[in-house]
Amino acid sequence: MQQSGAGADRAAMSDAGITIEAGTGGRVVRVGGPLLVADLARARDALAGLAGGAPVTVDLSGSGAMDTAGAWLLVTLRRRLAAEGVEMRVEGADARKALLIDTVEKALPPEETPRAPHAGFVAWLGRIGRATAEAGTIAREMTGFAGQIVACLLATLVRPWRLRTTSLVHHMQDVGLNATPIVTLMSFLIGVVLAFMGSVQLRAFGAEVFVVDLIAITVLRELGILMAAIIVAGRTASAYTAAIGSMKLREEIDAMRALSLDPIEVLVLPRMLALILTLPLLGFVANIAGLAGGALMSWISLGISPELFAARLTESSDPWNLLVGLIQAPFFAAIIGLVGCYEGMKVEKSAESLGQRTSDSVVLAIFLVIVCNAAFSVFFMQVGV
């Protein structure tokens, strides 16, 4: 852009037909050509040099045709200058151009000015209160959602032919069979770590043989089913949320309701039943893998043969150790399925919402599984099991 003129009035002509004149009363932008989408790039480059300073007047009396792209350029220019404290006026526009600029300005979302975060005890207390109220809302909605699932399950028991067995078997394969390798590997490694750490501590007291009791109680009562549930929560809850949320984004769930199909019966119930049926089996596999890892490390580090390990395991281990872990499995499965499907149903019509809900489902499912495990531990300790 080149400046030309005499005295206080100087002008610059761009390739887009835009002249910028600087005078004592401010700057005048004269538009001498069309403001169409084809001219948008050149016009934007010509106006890029306008910054803070004197007020700006845009003269459209000599301009040509204008479309929504040109109106958008003027509106965004006005907002940019206003943010810098510069006033901008538009003059010389006929009724059609003025209406177009006004329509585009109303259609654009208002600019949000970032508010400084509040500090202090009162603001912290307010955040705690809002988080508590939100948690209460989620708990109430999840309780209602669980009631819908129970009602659908009872209706299915009355009319068992309505159960989607193909969907049930498919989800059982995905939740159970496909998750077996990772659950087995993780449980095996946990057994190895328990045996190694236990042998280091018990060797100082000459009580190496009690490492078998340590592994049996820890794996069978707690870690076996807990690790299986955590892995399934991270793997399956997110998959449920993503699958149901994607269907909601594509409005497939609305189409189901239009066809008089219940999404709870079609989408949620088979997933819930698949989890409830397969998680106890995964927990049993995790127990076997954990004991195998502990037996291997006991053999390597302490010289306890597999025969001696098995004999000590059968002598000292109470069958309730196994039952305590397996009793918790259906409850963990119900929590994981409930959270995954609930978060999927809450997805709004945006990809950002889908990602946020998928992340929330994993965090919430793992948190509730651990809380449920702690409650069961306290309960079984109080009843003496």
Q: How many domains does the chain have?
A: 2
The residues near 174 (Cβ < 8 Å, ≥ 6 apart) are 236, 239, 274
Q: How many helices (H) and strands (E) does the chain have?
A: 15, 6
pLDDT, average across residues 276-301: 91
Give Cα 149 to chain centroid, integer Å.
Answer: 23
Is residue 86 located within the same domain as residue 222?
Answer: no
Is residue 363 located within the same domain as residue 232?
Answer: yes
pLDDT, average across residues 291-312: 87
Is residue 189 located within the same domain as residue 328?
Answer: yes
pLDDT, average across residues 151-176: 91
| Tokens standing for residue 119 | 């500090």
DSSP-derived letter for residue 210 is G
| Residue 221 pLDDT level (bands cut at 50, 70, 90) | confident
Is residue 157 located within the same domain as residue 296?
Answer: yes
Boundary residue ending a domain (79, 107, 135) = 107
The answer to whether the CB of 67 falls within 8 A of the CB of 35 is yes
Boundary residue ending a domain (58, 86, 107) = 107
pLDDT of residue 3: 39
Boundary residue ending a domain (107, 139, 168) = 107
| Count of CB atoms situated within 10 Å of the CB of 343 | 28
pLDDT of residue 24: 67
Residue 88 sits in a domain whose CATH number is: 3.30.750.24
Is residue 179 located within the same domain as residue 299?
Answer: yes
pLDDT of residue 2: 37
pLDDT digits (tens, 9 = 90+) for 232-255: 999 899 999 999 999 988 889 889
Is residue 276 located within the same domain as residue 207?
Answer: yes
Mean pLDDT of the chain: 85
pLDDT of residue 187: 92
Q: Is the confidence at residue 363, as pLDDT, over 60? A: yes
Is residue 363 located within the same domain as residue 266?
Answer: yes
Give Cα 52 to chain centroid, integer Å.
Answer: 42
Quick one: residue 92, left, alpha or beta (phi over 0 = left, psi -120 to 50 = alpha)? left
The Cα–Cα gap between 157 and 152 comes to 9
Closest Cα partner for 92 from 50, 121, 64, 62? 62
The Cα–Cα gap between 17 and 359 comes to 52
Is residue 170 located within the same domain as residue 27?
Answer: no
Which range of residues forms the domain containing residue 96?
3-107
